[in-house]
């Protein structure tokens, strides 16, 4: 009897020890896994999970928890196949509360899609369908559109069928599926009618309808129904607030005030101008950190209203050129003046046309007026170095900074607005200590920039502009011609054959044209068209001729440009 009692006690002790040991083992696994997770050591966490899952002494509940750890770590480590396997294992293990499992499943689904692992993403997503009613409304609102998109991306009609049958499919997403199905089947051009035939669609708010159509368009494109996708987008566009481009009429003022001081003394300092700046899109502003080529002041949006109310600009033109005057109010002006920096900058974009034209970008630091120009092409006959032509100054007074920028017509001689009959694109962004504000869209987005509409000059002013440009061209040409002929005729440095056969004849033609212009035999317009470009770009002309000369010399060739062929 005594022995039985002792044996019982021994068995009991052994059993407890075993249980305690098993308990300790479970705790060890989890502790180890969590330690690796704290250190973001996913490979070791996963390895520990594997060991735990192979341990048959652990009960289903523990295996379930470890499977979730495995899935979570595999997801973060981007091993989505492994994550899917772990989740499948978890699905077969009993649990009273699958909330965490669903959260991990949703996370794996989301991340795998972002990593373009569409087949496994679809697999994970479909595995969540049965549990979707346990998701929160917010999670379902994210999950179902993403699943529909993934089904379209993988071209899985079976997945579409499964989604359509899901009992927790929200009405909006059921409608989305219907729109996709019907637009895909509808003949081209029938989108409006097809969608109009869905009364539940018209009961939705414009925002929801817009989002639905965008999503349907994405799915249709992925399913190779590009026409239907375009039509769905067109329907979505009808719901959008149309983009309204800012516009500014550039009036003639002969003469415009010269320099910042002239503008400060005029009414423009306190009155008028274009002032409808808006806050720069914060999302776009945040991503500008990726632009390694320019540094811009970005603030935390405090006091932005002050800058919105106290920033405007004026644009005028006269016979000399284009005058831009910006008025930037600054409540801490004295602080920035003493440092000569820190008041932000003005970023300006300009293109002498609404399309087919290159553009210019420059940034003026405030209040020091340091200018950084960022060319967008090679300097050539058609794209010039703005630094050589621009004049700028910034003066401070009355709590404001007045920044003056002048660009002469000789910079734009070949794209004068009354010759091209075109508006120009113009954008100005003020980077203030409180953040960015913009008049013409976002950085480099020419499509969103404002429009400069040019008041037609009266005939006297137009003639004056042409004459000034022509006189400048003639003076420049005469100076350049002398220099070029002297160099190329130099017996040691030049090439007399080139000077004689190509350069001199070209200059003779230009001299004849100048004579014709001066004597009135050639109109200013004809002169501007046929002769002025070569006068303004004599160096480029000489280079082109030189290149032709050498090519002929090396290969033997003679050809005619369009002007020589009687254009």
Q: Which of residues 97-116 bind other proteins (CB under 8 A)?
A: 113, 116
Task: Specify the stretch interacting with other proteins by CB under 8 A; choose among 93-101, 122-130, 469-477, 521-529.
Answer: 521-529
d(CA 56, CA 63): 9
**Do residues 464 and 319 make contact, with C-beta atoms less than 8 angstroms apart?**
yes
Give the C-alpha distances (Å, rounded to integers) separating 274 from 102, 254, 348, 406: 54, 20, 15, 17
Instruction: Give the three-class secondary structure for 316.
Output: strand
Site for other proteins in 64-93 (CB under 8 A): 77-78
- Per CB under 8 A, 206 contacts other proteins: no
Q: Which of 25, 30, 41, 198 binds other proteins (CB under 8 A)?
A: 41
Residue closer to other proteins (CB basis): 337 or 476: 476
Residue closer to other proteins (CB basis): 126 or 217: 217
- Per CB under 8 A, 290 contacts other proteins: yes
- Rounded to a whole number of angstroms, the minimum distance from the CB of residue 181 to other proteins is 19
Task: Specify the stretch interacting with other proteins by CB under 8 A; choose among 92-100, 102-110, 353-361, 402-410.
Answer: 353-361
> How many residues belong to the site for other proteins (CB under 8 A)?
88
Give the C-alpha distances (Å, rounded to integers) separating 25 from 18, 30, 42, 141, 445: 10, 9, 21, 41, 61
**Do residues 428 and 348 make contact, with C-beta atoms less than 8 angstroms apart?**
yes
Q: Which of 420, 451, 489, 494 binds other proteins (CB under 8 A)?
A: 420
Site for other proteins in 435-464 (CB under 8 A): 443-448
- Rounded to a whole number of angstroms, the minimum distance from the CB of residue 233 to other proteins is 7
- Rounded to a whole number of angstroms, the minimum distance from the CB of residue 149 to other proteins is 6
The alpha carbon of residue 111 and the mean position of all alpha carbons in its chain are separated, in whole angstroms, by 24
- Per CB under 8 A, 130 contacts other proteins: no
Site for other proteins in 468-507 (CB under 8 A): 493
Residue 182, Cβ density class (10 Å: 0-12 exposed, 13-18 middle, ≥19 buried)? middle
Q: What angle do CA 308, 408, 543 make, to 5 degrees?
A: 125
- Rounded to a whole number of angstroms, the minimum distance from the CB of residue 306 to other proteins is 28
Site for other proteins in 292-321 (CB under 8 A): 292-294
Q: Directed axis angle between helix 504-518 and helix 459-489, to 10°?
A: 150
Residue closer to other proteins (CB basis): 306 or 540: 540
Task: Specify the stretch interacting with other proteins by CB under 8 A; choose among 163-171, 337-345, 390-398, 559-567.
Answer: 559-567
d(CA 557, CA 541): 19
d(CA 208, CA 262): 53
Alpha helical stretches, state H, 93-136: 99-114, 118-127
The residues near 243 (Cβ < 8 Å, ≥ 6 apart) are 448
Instruction: Give the three-class secondary structure for 247.
Output: strand
d(CA 208, CA 213): 9
- Rounded to a whole number of angstroms, the minimum distance from the CB of residue 219 to other proteins is 9
- Per CB under 8 A, 224 contacts other proteins: yes
Site for other proteins in 170-199 (CB under 8 A): none
Site for other proteins in 232-271 (CB under 8 A): 233, 236, 243
DSSP state of 503: I
Q: Are strands 450-454 and 424-432 parallel, antiparallel or unpaired?
A: antiparallel
- Per CB under 8 A, 377 contacts other proteins: yes
Q: Which of 29, 144, 149, 280 binds other proteins (CB under 8 A)?
A: 149
- Rounded to a whole number of angstroms, the minimum distance from the CB of residue 143 to other proteins is 15
């Amino acid at each position: 009897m005594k022995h039985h009692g002792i044996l019982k006690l021994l068995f009991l002790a052994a059993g407890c020890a075993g249980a305690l040991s098993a308990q300790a083992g479970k705790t060890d696994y989890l502790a180890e896994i969590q330690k690796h997770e704290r250190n973001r050591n996913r490979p070791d966490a996963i390895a520990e999970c594997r060991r735990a899952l192979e341990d048959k002494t652990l009960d289903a509940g523990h295996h379930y928890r470890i499977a979730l750890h495995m899935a979570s770590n595999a997801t973060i480590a981007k091993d989505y196949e492994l994550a899917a396997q772990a989740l499948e294992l978890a699905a077969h293990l009993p649990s009273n509360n699958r909330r965490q499992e669903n959260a991990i499943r949703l996370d794996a689904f989301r991340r795998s899609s972002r990593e373009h692992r569409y087949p496994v993403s679809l697999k994970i997503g479909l595995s969540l369908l049965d549990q979707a009613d346990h998701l929160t409304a917010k999670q379902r609102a994210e999950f179902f559109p993403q699943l529909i998109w993934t089904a379209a991306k993988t071209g899985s009609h079976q997945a579409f069928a499964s989604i359509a049958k899901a009992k927790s499919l929200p009405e909006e997403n059921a409608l989305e599926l219907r729109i996709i199905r019907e637009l895909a089947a509808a003949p081209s051009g029938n989108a409006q009618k097809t969608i109009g035939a869905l009364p539940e669609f018209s009961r939705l708010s414009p925002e929801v309808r817009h989002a639905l159509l965008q999503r349907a368009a994405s799915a249709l494109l992925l399913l190779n129904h590009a026409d239907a996708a375009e039509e769905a987008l067109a329907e979505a566009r009808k719901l959008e607030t149309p983009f309204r481009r800012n516009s500014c009429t550039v009036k003639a003022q002969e003469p415009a005030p010269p320099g910042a001081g002239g503008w400060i003394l005029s009414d423009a300092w306190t009155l008028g101008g274009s002032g409808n700046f808006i806050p720069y899109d914060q999302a776009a502003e945040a991503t500008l950190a990726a632009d390694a080529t320019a540094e811009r002041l970005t603030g935390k949006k405090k006091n932005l209203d002050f800058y919105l109310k106290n920033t405007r600009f004026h644009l005028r033109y006269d016979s000399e050129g284009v005058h831009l005057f910006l008025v930037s109010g600054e409540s801490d002006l004295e602080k920035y003046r003493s440092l000569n920096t820190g008041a932000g900058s003005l970023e300006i974009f300009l293109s002498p046309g609404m399309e087919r034209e290159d553009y210019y970008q420059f940034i003026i630091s405030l209040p020091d007026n340091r200018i950084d120009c960022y060319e967008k092409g090679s300097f050539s006959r058609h794209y010039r170095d703005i630094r050589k032509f621009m004049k700028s100054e910034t003066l401070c007074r009355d709590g404001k900074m007045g920044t003056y920028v002048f660009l002469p017509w000789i910079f734009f001689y070949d794209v004068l607005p009354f010759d091209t009959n075109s508006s120009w694109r113009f954008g100005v962004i003020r980077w203030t200590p409180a953040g960015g504000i913009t008049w013409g869209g976002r950085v480099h987005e020419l499509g969103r920039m404002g429009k400069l509409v040019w008041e037609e000059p009266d005939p006297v002013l137009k003639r004056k502009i042409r004459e000034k440009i022509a006189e400048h061209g003639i003076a420049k040409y005469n100076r350049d011609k002398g220099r070029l002929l002297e160099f190329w005729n130099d017996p040691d440095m030049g090439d007399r054959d080139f000077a004689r056969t190509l350069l001199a004849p070209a200059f003779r033609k230009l001299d004849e044209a100048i004579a014709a212009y001066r004597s009135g035999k050639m109109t200013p317009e004809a002169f501007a068209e046929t002769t002025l470009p070569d006068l303004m770009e004599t160096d480029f002309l000489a280079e082109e001729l030189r290149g032709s000369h050498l090519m002929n010399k090396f290969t033997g060739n003679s050809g005619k440009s369009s002007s020589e062929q009687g254009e």
